[in-house]
Structure 1
Amino acid sequence: MATPSESTSATPAGRASDSTELWLASMPAVFVLIWSTGFIVARYGMPHAPPLGFLSLRYACSIACLGAWIAWSGARWPQGRAQWGHLAVTGVLMHAGYLGGVWAAVKMGIGAGTVALIVGLQPLLTAVWVTWRGERGPSSTAGSAAHRLGKQQWLGLLMGLAGLALVVERKLAQGEITPGNLALAVLALLSITAGTLYQKRHLAPCDVRTANTVQLLAALAVSLPLALLEPEAIDWHPEMIGALAWSVLALTLGGSSLLYLLIQRGAATRVTSLMYLVPPCTAVLAMLLFDEALGPTVLAGIVITVAGVALVVRSPR
């Protein structure tokens, strides 16, 4: 415990340091709260806009906001062609691939809670890959004893897949899931998983504002040409405007920047372990806002999947 003299000598710099530590400690919780709303926003926006058209508009608005922030703050741009190339790859995977898959799947009728559950397998895939390959790069040995999957992780893997199969089978019977929207949801899952692992492996620390801008420029370059092929026009409904505003300010500027910072500061498995909290939160929100049914079978599948993912992520290597 600090003595009175120590307390009296506390400096403003020390208090600022404490505030910084508190913010860093709260970043994961804030990220989960923001990220959980992404699937809900998709449900609000998709009745009024084509998916890639909406996302292209979101990327363009986000780039404009970040550009103004960069110009005002004088943030430093990434150094070297390699870093720009790596950022472009992660932008295509984590924005164009992931968001494009999620929003297109929702447009094709899949529920917000269901797509959140499918994408929620990301920490399971990440943990299995990192455990198998290690996080230190190409020098890791895939079959070394230190990186083999343990019994608890295999159990968690099987639980996660069984729970997902339970939900998917039920939603297939109800007609909510089709081969098309399921394929798009799986594309989103693979994209966010690959993007997270690629970023952790290849990107050097750099300013989150300029890094995010490069990623969004790459995502826009991929999404915009495809958006021009969509026959549907954007309907500027209040729900669509609200979804766009939240997508730009909270999800892109807030959530994606937090994800970038969290990946920079922690191992990929610890970062993506936050994702297993998202599906149950999204399922409850979707039930309250959109009356998406949570029957016993679906609820059991969600619980089994989340428990399996948590078991994989929390098991020691």
Structure 2
Amino acid sequence: MNQSTQGLLLRAMPVLFVLLWSTGFIGAKYGLPYAEPWTFLAIRFVASVAVLLVIVRLVGAAWPRDLRLWGHVAVTGVLVHAIYLGGVFYSIYRGMPAGVAALIVGLQPLVTALLARPWLGERIAAVQWLGIGLGLIGIVLVLGDKIDTSADALFAGFGPEAILLALVALLAISVGTIYQKRHCSGIDLLTGTCIQFVAAAAVTTVAAFLFETREVQWVPQFVFALTWLVLGLSVAAILLLMAMIRRGEASRVASLFYLVPPVTAVEAWILFGERLGLVAIVGIGLAVLGVALAARYRA
């Protein structure tokens, strides 16, 4: 492979990562008709752990030696996987469009900036305040476009509980991001992710037994969605992130992450016919601009 081809692949890696990440919301909507959210996630995490353990063994990745670090990584896994994805899956399960769910949790850089001030002592710059304001205006416009006064659910296809679940997911990944920054630095990404998935599998399995029937329809659509979320998201995306970190490209992912909501909205429109009105499209644009300002400043 010549240098020009290698350079092209290197530049494409962050874009590929964002594309992979956006399909997580699509996979959730595709598989949720056939399994309840906690059950779906528990199966996904157990399968992901099985695959990652094989990869860890093959590459000889180092496990953390400090038991306290194991605990910190497990807490992070509960926040950024179990609670975050649980909120996302349940909001979509309750009827929220995948594109709207992606937009709400996509505000994570803005919430993280707010939380980082008291927890990490980071100053919020004027451009970040501008981004926070634009993000909030964008969300209001998108949700306002979905209001259906003739429906019992308040919004077209979903109710306030779906918004609350998405907000819980947003808070969980924001807190988890800061917690990981404070307590989990220096850990191998592969083994760290494996530990996180083990903790997430434990929590989601307990939740499935407590709150769900655990019935699964093993139809081809569900198997495809599960396989994609395990191999495409939990494994391929992590390996791609590892490769970018080793090549110093991880910062480019941060600068492109704000593209996940509009990419998800386009994918949901193509696959599920989720349509957004002009006001919602403007709202997405404002929210994306707000997150971009905050993300670029932090980068």
Q: TM-score, normalised by structure 1?
A: 0.82
CA distance in 1 between partners of 2:109 and 2:82 (Å): 20
Give the match's secondary structure for 2:186: coil
Residues 247, 28 of structure 1: CA spacing in aligned structure 2 closer, same or farther, 3 A cutoff? same
Aligned to 2:220: 238
How far apart, CA to CA, are the structure 1 residues paired with 2:290 and 2:54?
A: 43
Residue pair 2:190, 2:238 contacting (<8 A) in 1 also: no
- Structure 1 residues 223 and 148, CA gap change in structure 2 (3 angstroms): closer
TM-score (norm 2): 0.87
Paired letter, 2:146: K
User: Letter of the aligned partner of 2:57 in structure 1?
Assistant: A
Q: Is the 8 A contact 2:135 2:287 kept in 1?
A: yes
> Does the 8 Å contact 1:122/1:275 carry over to 2?
no
Contact 1:196 1:263 in 2 (8 A): no
Q: Supply the distance in 2 between the matched residues of 1:126 and 1:116 (Cα, whole angstroms).
A: 16
The alignment yields a C-alpha RMSD, in angstroms, of 2.9
1:160 pairs with one of 135, 138, 159: 135
* Mapped partners of 2:178, 2:254: distance in 1: 10
**Which one has a bigger Cα radius of gyration?**
1
User: What code does the residue aligned with 2:23 have?
Assistant: T
Change (3 A) 1:260 1:187: farther
**Contact 1:102 1:184 (8 Å CA) reproduced:** yes
> What is the identity, as a one-letter code, of the residue corresponding to 1:115?
A
Q: 1:149 aligns with which of 96, 115, 125?
A: 125
Which residue of 1 is the match for residue 32 of structure 2? 46
Which position in structure 2 is the counterpart of 1:297? 279
Relative to structure 1, the CA distance from residue 178 to residue 116 in structure 2 (aligned partners, 3 Å threshold; closer, same or farther) is same
SS at match of 1:172: coil
Aligned partner of 1:3 in structure 2 is: none
Are 1:81 and 2:63 counterparts?
Answer: no
**1:69 matched residue in structure 2:** 55
Aligned to 2:172: 191
CA distance in 2, matches of 1:265, 1:97: 31
Structure 2 counterpart of 1:56, from 26, 42, 45: 42
> Structure 1: 5+ residue runs without aligned partners?
1-11
Identity %: 46
**What's the offset of the Cα at 1:232?**
5.1
Question: Residues 111, 179 of structure 1: CA spacing in aligned structure 2 closer, same or farther, 3 A cutoff?
Answer: same
SS of corresponding position for 1:292: coil
